[in-house]
Chain A
Amino acid sequence: MWTARSLQLRLNTELALGVLPVPAWVAAAAFVSARFVSPALAWAASSMAVAGGLAWVVVHVRRHGYSEDQAAVVLDRAAKAGGLLLTVRERPSREWETALWEKVRDVRPPPLRIGRPAAMTAGALVFALIAAWVPMPEKPATSVDLAARSQVASAVGKAQTLASEMPLPEAISAELARLGEELRANSFDATDWEATDNVDDAIEDEARARGAALEKAAQAAERLAKTLGEGVEDEAVEREKEELEEALAELGEEARKKGGSESSTDSREAGGDADQSKAAEDRGGTNQAPSVKQGRGPRTRAEAQAMRDALDRRREELANRFADKGQGRGQAAGQRPGTGRGRGDNKGRPGFGPSHGPAEDTPLRFGDETKFQKDRLAFAPLPEGRGGDDSGTLWGMNRRAPTRGPGSPAAAPTGLASGLDQTPGANEGTVPPRHRELVRRYFDRPAATAPKQR
């Protein structure tokens, strides 16, 4: 049997369900909108929206809902009690309560009208579920991302080039791995740009050092070859061999320090059998240098020459590869967002010192030489087909000198017009159609001829 309290709960529940679609859709919209920013933010935003929406529903019901007295009036009306229920609530009377409950017992309240709000709330839930199921499109790569990727790719390429010659230092490998992670996490910032520059410089430094070591070993091999060819005494040969072995040992030592291998393959690859080197040359391999049995060195001049050639080849190959990589890096650096090379924070990692200045082989200019470089300003005509030819045309256009009107003195054509053919109609084919009439009127006709009427 209904009481005022139970009817109040029912009426307020109906009211709350009626307004529930509003916060449901707000939460669904917040969830979908926040997904475009961040998936984690989506759940947080929707949770806050749900909590806020439920609080709003509670406040709304408190403000617009039914009080118990109001629910009693509704029940009194529904039971057709004529105010008796209200009276009995205030002035209990056993006699009249019996008559009252007989009326209230037969009250059948109308069914809850929650179909439409329930459908709307379910619609919001379905909308949110579909939005959660549909994957978000990938963020388009920005020019900064592409520039960062190409920069790191360039450094990785250089590292791979260096790794083909010697084991890559662990610090460089770790740094490249970290930069790759930063790219994947889309958190490549200015410090990472600096770190990329630094690791790039470090790789180039390593390559230069490697090149210098190879050069030293090549020179030692050449000296040995020369000594062997001159037929000098064994002592000199031994001395040269020792120097060569030292140079080869440096190559191996350096590689071990950087790459961590105990017996470096480089020392074996740097010297060695002339047959192996010849066979390697036949195959076209660049790093297949003759092997050197430790302590023995090349015995003949040919062997020494072969070793020197192999070392030279490797040095040149390394230099050439880094020259190509350096050109590629310059193109990527043009897209970088403004940090440039510099001495910025390299996150304190050892092994990467401040960036280097200009290349050592570029001569410095001082004083007036920097202001005026005659070779840059020397006259050179435009090449054929690129705008200039002997007739003085420029991009296919002929110079046009204005003709004199009646009574005006003849004026010599100047500038571009001075080089053009002054014959009337000579250059008409090169003038656009819309200008031909104009040109013909003012420049082609003699002074006595009146212009054509259009």
Chain B
Amino acid sequence: MPDLLTADELQAALGPAHRLREELARVLIDQPLVVERVVVALLARGHVLLEGLPGLGKTELCKGLAKLLALPFKRLQFTPDLLPGDITGTYVLEGGAERAMVFRPGPLFASVVLADEINRSSPKTQSALLEAMAERCVTVLGTTHELPQPFFVLATQNPIELEGTYPLPEAQLDRFLFKIDVPPVGAETLTKLLTTRLRGEAPKLSPVLDAAGLARLFAAVDRVYLPEPVAHFIGRLVAATDPRNPAAPEPISRYVKYGASPRAAIAIASAARAMALLAGKPNVGFDEVAHVAPAALHHRLVLNHEARLEQVTGASLSAQLLKLIPEVARA
């Protein structure tokens, strides 16, 4: 196990991370929580699903992040007629005399991929992202092609206009580190938007991090220490989401059909490390876990009909879970 981060190392890592956050906050005005979670997800090398009403800046945020990172960026507009080959790439016959099947990589082969309106394409096409998001590679006609590193998928979806859309399968939802709800903005934010931007265009952004810088940040995040009691707390949190668990609280056993998977625990731990780094700490604490757990858990809980009837959401259940599960487990 590597040594703890020193104060200098922390300070060296904090600079670029804070700059990234500040620049991103210029893109999405008055949404510090959303920006922070996107940065945390980036540092944790996780994918993000942004959900919000149209026109809240979800796509601009993803585009702005891509500009700030100076990384190859591709945008995928998910339409109902999109095919998996359109995403992953396909083999085409090329050549003159000696024709051969040549693999033409699809838009997925970028470091930052914006999957816009991801719920508009068919599940067949959506499933093309499963392998890419989990393993950062794609397999086409039996040949596995590695995706560039780092690789991020920033997806957006609209909670309204459900006609002609396909809800994401649980397997795909489980691959997103965070599902961030972008809330509507108020009058003051709109005033600021109108006075600082022309026709709502995003400000010009300059890259603040390149691939090397990002790699250093990733290394720093990996060296953030996770103490055993905190890891135990994360484990108890995720285990408590299983309704079949005798230790599961009453709201979980009542409203949840399927709980979170071990991927959720890994996601929480990674996000907590990134959060601790942003806070300038060499270790993860209970506060970091409490901060990132709701965003990491709520989209992974499969709710039953009773929850839908009583309008209980995953977010409310995640918040209740944090109150019901103690940090220290005592008999």
Interface residues of A (CB under 8 A from B): 63-64, 66, 69-70, 72-74, 76-77, 81-84, 86-87, 89-91, 93, 95-96
* Shortest distance between the CB of B329 and any CB in chain A (Å): 8
> Contact: A87 with B283, CB < 8 Å?
yes
Residue on A nearest B282 in the bound complex, by CB: A96
User: A82 to B277, alpha carbons, bound, how many Å?
Assistant: 12
Pairwise interchain contact B228-A63, C-beta atoms closer than 8 A: no
How far, in whole Å, are A96 and B227 apart by their CA atoms in the complex? 14
Residues on A with C-beta less than 8 A from B1 are 91
Cβ–Cβ < 8 Å partners of B227 in chain A: 83, 86-87, 89-90
Q: How many Å from the CB of B132 to the closest CB on chain A?
A: 34
Among the listed B6, B283, B330, which residue makes an inter-chain contact with A86, where contact means beta carbons less than 8 Å apart? B283
- Pairs of residues from A and B, 5 with the lowest C-beta to C-beta distance, nearest first: A83-B285, A86-B227, A82-B285, A87-B283, A70-B328
Q: How far is the CA of A64 from the CA of B331 in the complex (A)?
A: 5
Supplied contacts A73-B286, A91-B1, 17 more A-B pairs, CB within 8 Å: A64-B331, A69-B228, A70-B229, A73-B327, A73-B328, A76-B285, A77-B327, A82-B283, A83-B285, A84-B282, A84-B283, A84-B285, A86-B228, A87-B4, A87-B225, A87-B227, A90-B228
Which of A73, A83, A95 counts the most chain B CB atoms within 10 A?
A83
* Beta-carbon contact of A66 and B4 below 8 Å: no
| Prevailing SS type, chain B contact patch | loop
Complex: A93 Cα to B6 Cα, angstroms: 9
B328 in contact with A82 (CB, 8 Å): no
In the complex, the chain A residue whose C-beta lies closest to that of B227 is A86
Contact B284 A66 (CB under 8 A): no
Q: How far is B227's CA from A81's CA once the two chains are assembled, in angstroms?
A: 13
Most buried by A among B1, B287, B328, B330: B328
Residue of A nearest to B1 (CB): A91
A–B Cβ pairs within 8 angstroms, 22 of them: A64-B331, A66-B328, A66-B330, A70-B330, A73-B286, A81-B285, A82-B281, A82-B285, A83-B285, A86-B228, A86-B230, A87-B4, A87-B283, A89-B227, A90-B225, A91-B1, A91-B4, A91-B225, A93-B3, A93-B4, A93-B282, A96-B282
Known: A87-B283, A95-B6. A73 touches B229 (CB 8 A): yes
CA distance A244 to B331 in the complex (A): 102
B4 contacts which of A74, A82, A96 (Cβ < 8 Å)?
A: A96
B100: interface (CB < 8 Å): no
- Is B33 engaged at the interface, CB distance under 8 Å to the other chain? no
Nearest B residue to A90 by beta-carbon distance?
Answer: B227
Report which of B6, B7, B284, B331 forms a contact with A83, defined as CB distance below 8 A: B284
Tell me which residues across on chain B come within 8 A of A66, comparing CB atoms: 328, 330
A76: nearest chain-B partner, CB-CB = B285
* Minimum distance in angstroms from A369 CB to a CB of chain B: 90
Tell whether, in the assembled complex, residue A64 and residue B330 are in contact, meaning their CB atoms are under 8 Å apart: yes
CA–CA, A90 to B284, complex, Å?
13
> A83 and B286: CB pair below 8 A?
yes
Rounded to whole angstroms, the CA-CA distance of A404 and B63 in the bound complex is 130
* A99: nearest chain-B partner, CB-CB: B7
In the complex, the answer to whether B229 meets A82 with C-beta atoms within 8 Å is no
Within 8 Å CB of A73, what residues of B?
229, 286, 327-328
Given A83-B281, A87-B4, A63-B331 contact (CB < 8 Å): yes
Given the complex, which residues of A lie within 8 Å of B331, measured CB to CB? 63-64
Residue of B nearest to A71 (CB): B328
Q: What's the minimum C-beta distance from A175 to chain B, rounded to whole angstroms?
A: 67
Which residue of A is nearest B228, CB measured? A90
Shortest distance between the CB of B145 and any CB in chain A (Å): 39
Partner pick for B287 among A63, A82, A86, CB 8 A cutoff: A82
Chain B residues with CB under 8 A of A86: 227-230, 283
Task: Give the distance in Å from the alpha carbon of A202 to the alpha carbon of B281 in the complex.
Answer: 104
Q: Are A83 and B283 in contact (CB under 8 A)?
A: yes
Known: A86-B227, A87-B225. A95 touches B328 (CB 8 A): no
CB contacts (< 8 Å) of B283 on chain A: these are 82-84, 86-87
* Chain A minimum-CB-distance residue to B283: A87
**A72 to chain B: closest residue by CB:** B229
Write out the residue numbers on chain B whose beta carbons fall within 8 Å of the beta carbon of A70: 229, 328, 330
By beta carbon, the residue of chain B nearest A67 is: B330
Scoring B3, B229, B230, B283 by chain A CB atoms within 10 A of each residue's CB, the highest score goes to B283
In the docked arrangement, what's the CA distance between A453 and B22, Å? 117
Shortest CB distance B120–A (Å)? 43
B281, B285, B287 — most chain A CB neighbours (10 Å): B285
CA distance A83 to B284 in the complex (A): 6
Residue in chain A with minimal CB distance to B232: A69
Nearest Cβ on chain B to A431's Cβ, whole angstroms: 81
Closest to B286 in A: A83
Chain A residues whose C-beta falls within 8 Å of the C-beta of B279 in the assembled complex: 82
Q: Mark B271-291, 1 if CB is under 8 A from A, else 0.
A: 000000001011111111000
Question: In chain A, what residue has the closest Cβ to B287?
Answer: A82
Interface positions of B from 1 to 19, Cβ below 8 Å from A: 1, 3-4, 6-7
Alpha-carbon separation in the docked complex, A95 to B227 (Å): 17
Instruction: Give the one of A81, A82, A90 with max B CB within 10 A.
Output: A82
The smallest beta-carbon distance between A291 and chain B, in angstroms, is: 98
State A95–B281 Cα separation when bound (angstroms).
Answer: 13
Residue from B282, B284, B287 having most chain A Cβ neighbours under 10 A: B282
Cβ–Cβ < 8 Å partners of A84 in chain B: 281-283, 285
Q: Taking A82-B287, A93-B3 as contacts, is the C-beta distance between A87 and B282 under 8 angstroms?
A: yes
Closest partner residue, chain B, to A74 (CB atom): B328
Provide the bound-state CA to CA distance between A259 and B245, in Å: 94
